[in-house]
Amino acid sequence: MEKFERKANEEALVRRAKKKPSKKENIITLVPVYCKGCGLCVDICPTGTLQLEDNIESKFGVSAKVDAPEYCIGCKMCELRCPDLAIFVNYDEDQEK
């Protein structure tokens, strides 16, 4: 990973360290084939739930991963920010509404 990607991970972990696990279980669906590893979701997640990781199966070499799902508060900021529609939060729940 590049330096800026490691920095994004470190900053996310700092945010996570200030949070407690969410009271509600939220389901995050990441579609690896759509993820280009830009890190926008990692940067915007207020709870540090997401991280970037090296991914040799991706043509971009890096992709996002759901590192600590128990910290997700379901705010959907990642979903709204992702330019490639690669991440969804509580998708099934939304479909039922």
Question: Phi/psi zone of residue 38: left (φ > 0), alpha (ψ -120 to 50 degrees), beta?
Answer: alpha
| Candidate ranges 3-11, 13-21, 44-52; the one touching ligand SF4 (CB under 6 A) | 44-52
SS3 32: helix
Output 36 or 96, the one with its CB closest to ligand SF4: 36
Member of 15, 61, 73, 88 binding ligand SF4 (CB under 6 A): 73
Q: What is the DSSP letter of 41?
A: H
Our finding on whether 39 is near ligand SF4 (CB under 6 A) is: yes
Which listed residue (8, 12, 41, 68) binds ligand SF4 by CB under 6 A? 41
The 3-state DSSP class for residue 3 equals helix
